[in-house]
Chain A
Amino acid sequence: MAATPDGPGSMTLDSWRAGSLEIFRVGRGPRIGYLHGMVPVTSDEAFVTCLAEQGREVVAPCLPGYGGTSTSRDLRTMHDWVAATSEIIDVAGLNGAPMVASSVGAMLALELASIRPEAFSHLVLIGPIGLWRDDCPVTDPFSTTLSGQRNLLTNDPGLTASFYDGAAGEDPVVATIQRYTARTATASLVWPIPDFGLSQRIHRVSCPVTLIWGADDRIVPPVYADFFAESLSELRSVHLIEGAGHLAEWDAPARVAEIVTEALRES
């Protein structure tokens, strides 16, 4: 069941899992999905705009706990999260579409693709989480202060101001609660070690995959691009973005959008 709005904008499904589901739709053209990372997507996120300007209809749902999508105590395990993501992909009309996914969103996309290989026609993954090497551990993003956490995500911490500082005109209490809920959702996905057995399933991912990594990623070191590359049989290319941190699509939105377009054209 596709439930995206008819034109650009956002919509909220009020009856999704006894709560609400927020989906943004920006631009016109062939549809592409975007699963955000540790910071929830907004309709005016620069990367979404850049992607839409490449002639795409970007459909970007907020994952549970992020933005206008309800949090849920029922999401206790990775299985719960993947089931919810699968449902969101269907509701958003993204089944079989190409998908750009970042950080924790990329982890969920890989988990879903490993048990539902037909879910995506192409995956463009930005700094995915989900593998673990003892000799090169993924950084714990929550063993630091709030400003420290912010500094881990992007090279320019000012880029995430709307999330961390609140948008102009926004109720500060509502913004604080939304920020806390989103950070809690991230914690539930990465705590204490973001390895839920993906390495045992990732070989099932059969769609083409493009990997993008911020060269300055301080959460998932860029060497993880090699670890993922080893496991993905349909890997098309790996792109290291100089000057970008973990959320490379925030630090370099235009460049990442170009890579996405190029990857899909070749695919």
Chain B
Amino acid sequence: MKTVWFHLMPYPELPDDFTSEHRSVWVDIDPKLFDPAVGHRMYNDYIDELEFAAKVGFDGVGINEHHSNAYGLMPSPNLIAAALARTCPDAALVVLGDSVALYNPPIRVAEEFAMLDCISGGRLVAGFPVGTPMDTLYAYGNNPATLRERYHEGIELILRAWTSDEVFAFNGKYSKSRYVNCWPRPVQDPHPPVWIPGGGSIDTWEWCAQTGYSYLYLSYFGYKAALSTMRGFWNRVEAAGRPRNPYQAGFAQFFGVADSEKEAIELYREPAEYFFNRCLHVYPGFADPPGYKTLQTVRNGAEGMVERAAREASERAEQAAKKAARKAAQQSFSAASHMTFEQMVEKGYVIVGSPDQVAEKTVEMATDLNIGHVMSLCHFGNMNRDLAMHNTELMATKVLPQISHLWDDQWEDHWWPRPLTDRVR
């Protein structure tokens, strides 16, 4: 199993009254809350942490893209990846990724990813998320009616740009270029492995199952709540006639490791509560703009509601409705924002404990979800640099040795970078 040290880069100094005085951490968060001096320290600390993770033995370092977002301060993950490509000489660079529809033309993604693959000697994982509504539609003004078509067309252009041996004309609906000619070209042949981060959409599973791309479920709500989603994904993979190779899937998980469970709870309570109770304070009006979901997803949701309504009518309607509401609340951003740390641990949002306890739960998680790539969130919320590194070091030295063997003798990772053997760095 491969473990990637994944950073969201949250702003660490949101005020205590943030959730009562501000309506959202995303899109229309007050610009005056950002202190550039904090930003200076924060970015350098966070890059230090990523470099440290690579140094102590994580298989990869991971970053992603968000906009107008105080819990995800990487509008340009490629900038961070460029720095890491030089200072993390052996780790995979997992960029999760560039929100293709936001790049005009998307050939820019092909070029920058090719640069990263060249600089790193072929260590890039190319992530292509659709992007959240908050990022793509509200912050960047894409039209929801055309976002997904633009996204898929962009990926088609990028892959052709990487693999075509000739200059070609691309006459897309959204991108038109008379001369597509990607210089530089990626080291990896035919191109870096493609991972598709998603939030549980059936369309995304289906697409990954059909194309063979690796599906990465980026949930913040723990492995216990992810079981049904990942079972759905694997059903689609099997239906497509593909093997259940766990490396075709990954999952993001928060970790807090200490010498004992008691100490772990003491250490990680504050940063976890900061993240879940403050950073996920997203205004619900940004969550579901029309057009963002595919009609198939809308249909599935509507049919589920109808089936649920019928079941509730014949059973104990009131009790079932409350249960459904609780379940929905568990999976919504704003809903997480009033939980205690104990509840977060109990629900599996955060795996905390001694190294042995964390290793045991991680193996359980990876086995239950059938995943080969763990996106390990060892920094979260307002965790300081020292604690992040402490957590990272314990994870690397005492947990990874207990879990990295998983799947080794059963499956080959076809979705991991294949770097040059004679790299200069």
Q: Are B173 and A177 in contact (CB under 8 A)?
A: no
Q: Are A148 and B285 in contact (CB under 8 A)?
A: yes
Q: Identify the closest chain B residue to A184 (Cβ).
A: B291
Binding site for A on B (CB under 8 A): 27, 137-138, 141-146, 149, 173-174, 283-286, 288-291, 293, 295, 298-299, 301-303, 305-306
Interface centre among B138, B286, B301, B302 (most CB of A within 10 A): B302
Please indicate the chain A residues that have their CB under 8 angstroms from the CB of B293 in the complex: 180
**New A-B pairs, 19, CB < 8 Å, besides A177-B295, A187-B144:** A73-B149, A76-B146, A143-B27, A143-B285, A144-B285, A148-B285, A172-B302, A173-B302, A173-B303, A176-B298, A176-B299, A177-B299, A177-B302, A181-B295, A183-B291, A187-B289, A187-B290, A191-B141, A191-B144
24 A/B residue pairs, CB under 8 Å, sorted by A:
A73-B146, A75-B145, A76-B173, A142-B290, A143-B27, A144-B285, A172-B302, A176-B299, A176-B302, A176-B305, A177-B295, A177-B298, A180-B295, A181-B295, A184-B144, A184-B290, A185-B145, A186-B290, A187-B144, A187-B289, A188-B144, A188-B146, A191-B145, A192-B141
Cβ < 8 Å to B, chain A residues 118-154: 142-146, 148
Write the A162-190 contact mask toward B (1 if CB under 8 angstroms, else 0).
00000000001100110011011111100
| Complex CA distance for A177 and B303, rounded to whole angstroms | 10
Q: Are B290 and A173 in contact (CB under 8 A)?
A: no
Q: Are B299 and A173 in contact (CB under 8 A)?
A: yes
Please indicate the chain B residues that have their CB under 8 angstroms from the CB of A181 in the complex: 295
In the assembled complex, the CB of B37 is this many whole angstroms from the nearest CB of chain A, namely: 31
Q: Are A145 and B285 in contact (CB under 8 A)?
A: yes
In the assembled complex, the CB of B269 is this many whole angstroms from the nearest CB of chain A, namely: 32
Please indicate the chain A residues that have their CB under 8 angstroms from the CB of B138 in the complex: 143, 192
Q: Are A192 and B143 in contact (CB under 8 A)?
A: yes
In the assembled complex, the CB of A261 is this many whole angstroms from the nearest CB of chain B, namely: 35
Q: Are B143 and A191 in contact (CB under 8 A)?
A: yes
> A188 with B143: in contact, given A143-B138, A143-B285, A148-B285 (CB under 8 Å)?
yes
In the assembled complex, the CB of B354 is this many whole angstroms from the nearest CB of chain A, namely: 43
Please indicate the chain A residues that have their CB under 8 angstroms from the CB of B290 in the complex: 142, 180, 183-184, 186-187
| Complex CA distance for A144 and B302, rounded to whole angstroms | 20
In the assembled complex, the CB of A20 is this many whole angstroms from the nearest CB of chain B, namely: 16
Which of A75, A144, A191 is B137 in contact with, Cβ under 8 Å?
A: A191
Q: Are A173 and B145 in contact (CB under 8 A)?
A: no
In the assembled complex, the CB of A168 is this many whole angstroms from the nearest CB of chain B, namely: 16
* Total count of chain A residues near the partner, CB < 8 A: 24
In the assembled complex, the CB of A88 is this many whole angstroms from the nearest CB of chain B, namely: 18
In the assembled complex, the CB of A191 is this many whole angstroms from the nearest CB of chain B, namely: 5
Please indicate the chain A residues that have their CB under 8 angstroms from the CB of B303 in the complex: 173
Q: Are A172 and B306 in contact (CB under 8 A)?
A: yes
In the assembled complex, the CB of B404 is this many whole angstroms from the nearest CB of chain A, namely: 45
Q: Identify the closest chain B residue to A181 (Cβ).
A: B295
> A184 with B145: in contact, given A145-B285, A148-B285 (CB under 8 Å)?
yes
In the assembled complex, the CB of A146 is this many whole angstroms from the nearest CB of chain B, namely: 8
| Complex CA distance for A188 and B290, rounded to whole angstroms | 9
Please indicate the chain B residues that have their CB under 8 angstroms from the CB of A176 in the complex: 298-299, 301-302, 305
Q: Are A188 and B145 in contact (CB under 8 A)?
A: yes
Cβ < 8 Å to B, chain A residues 178-208: 180-181, 183-188, 191-193
In the assembled complex, the CB of B355 is this many whole angstroms from the nearest CB of chain A, namely: 44
Please indicate the chain A residues that have their CB under 8 angstroms from the CB of B137 in the complex: 191-192
Q: Identify the closest chain A residue to B148 (Cβ).
A: A73
Q: Are A143 and B286 in contact (CB under 8 A)?
A: yes
| Complex CA distance for A201 and B70, rounded to whole angstroms | 41
Please indicate the chain A residues that have their CB under 8 angstroms from the CB of B301 in the complex: 176
In the assembled complex, the CB of B149 is this many whole angstroms from the nearest CB of chain A, namely: 6
Q: Are A187 and B143 in contact (CB under 8 A)?
A: yes
| Complex CA distance for A76 and B143, rounded to whole angstroms | 9
| Complex CA distance for A172 and B137, rounded to whole angstroms | 28
| Complex CA distance for A29 and B284, rounded to whole angstroms | 48
| Complex CA distance for A90 and B173, rounded to whole angstroms | 27
Please indicate the chain A residues that have their CB under 8 angstroms from the CB of B149 in the complex: 73
Please indicate the chain A residues that have their CB under 8 angstroms from the CB of B27 in the complex: 143
| Complex CA distance for A142 and B145, rounded to whole angstroms | 13
Q: Identify the closest chain B residue to A193 (Cβ).
A: B141
Q: Identify the closest chain B residue to A143 (Cβ).
A: B285
| Complex CA distance for A173 and B307, rounded to whole angstroms | 10
Q: Identify the closest chain B residue to A174 (Cβ).
A: B302
Please indicate the chain A residues that have their CB under 8 angstroms from the CB of B288 in the complex: 146
| Complex CA distance for A177 and B298, rounded to whole angstroms | 7
Q: Are A145 and B284 in contact (CB under 8 A)?
A: yes
Interface centre among B143, B288, B291, B298 (most CB of A within 10 A): B291
Interface centre among A148, A191, A192 (most CB of B within 10 A): A191
| Complex CA distance for A176 and B302, rounded to whole angstroms | 7
| Complex CA distance for A75 and B289, rounded to whole angstroms | 18
Q: Are A142 and B289 in contact (CB under 8 A)?
A: yes
In the assembled complex, the CB of A177 is this many whole angstroms from the nearest CB of chain B, namely: 6
Which of B145, B173, B306 is A187 in contact with, Cβ under 8 Å?
A: B145
In the assembled complex, the CB of B128 is this many whole angstroms from the nearest CB of chain A, namely: 20
Question: Nearest 7 A-B pairs (CB), nearest first?
Answer: A188-B145, A183-B290, A192-B141, A184-B291, A176-B302, A144-B285, A184-B290
Please indicate the chain A residues that have their CB under 8 angstroms from the CB of B173 in the complex: 76
Please indicate the chain B residues that have their CB under 8 angstroms from the CB of A187 in the complex: 143-145, 289-291
Q: Identify the closest chain A residue to B300 (Cβ).
A: A173
